[in-house]
A = this chain, B = another copy of it.
Amino acid sequence: MTTEQLEQTPRTRLRRSHKRGDFDRETINSILDATSLCHVGYLVDGKPAVTPTIHWREGDHIYWHGSSASRALKNSNGHDVCLTVSLLDGMVLARSAMHHSANYRSVMIYGHGTKVTDVDEKKEKLRTFLEQLFPGRWDMLRPMTDQELKATMILGMPIEEASAKVRTGGPIDDEEDYELPIWAGVLPLVHAMKRPEADPRNLKGLAIPDHVFSFARP
């Protein structure tokens, strides 16, 4: 377990609730790995746009993908982006309106999106992406074609100028409000998986692969 601390920059230094901030790489990585969904902010004609996208992490880099023709990707390639990952872990009910809050984990990463251009590297990255989600699946699939690789753009970014922010625990009320007969507490929220739905066109008698049951990375 490393305890590498990312360097704080003028952009990532927390001004609000800075005690909730965290620059530990392990903490940042664990949040990035806890969900596949991120939101990428980029510019279109100088104005902000935020696109929901699936991401994956390899070491100290974060990746996302889509169509080679995607505006979101083209406008992120070589340009400033902010990639944010967040999990809403609970609603926090306090004794006054203002002290209501949410429990959460989030990471913001600033940087430039950079296109992966080497064809073999692209293929390897997509393999890693899929294998992280569904171990063992890649080799079961119909092999990828050159045309499919060409149609796909992968962007990557170092996890360097980044910060985590985390809230846990119950409400923090004004001291005198603890005497009031008001129910306070936390409503914990989780991501849950429901029963897998087989494609009606699956061949008869196919076993469900283990990676479907062990999937744990919504």
Contact residues of A with B, CB < 8 Å?
11, 15-16, 35-37, 39-44, 46-52, 54, 66-67, 69-71, 80-84, 86, 88, 91, 93, 95-98, 100, 102, 104, 106, 108, 110, 126-127, 130, 133-134, 137-138, 140-142, 144, 148, 151-152, 170-171, 174, 177-203, 206-209, 212, 215, 218
Contact = CB atoms under 8 A, between A and B. Distances in A.
Nearest to A49: B82
Given A35-B88, A96-B144, A180-B203, 6 more contacts: A16-B66, A16-B67, A178-B201, A183-B202, A183-B212, A187-B215
A196 B186 contact: yes
Given A36-B88, A84-B52, A170-B199, A141 B96 contact: yes
A142 to B, nearest CB: 4
Given A49-B108, A50-B82, A88-B37, A198 B212 contact: no
A50 B41 contact: yes
Nearest to A15: B71
Contact of A39 (B50, B98, B195): B50
A44 B12 CA distance: 12
28 contacts: A37-B86, A39-B39, A39-B52, A39-B86, A41-B82, A47-B82, A50-B50, A50-B82, A51-B84, A51-B108, A52-B86, A91-B133, A93-B212, A100-B130, A142-B177, A170-B197, A180-B203, A182-B206, A183-B202, A183-B208, A184-B199, A184-B201, A188-B195, A188-B197, A189-B191, A189-B192, A189-B194, A190-B191
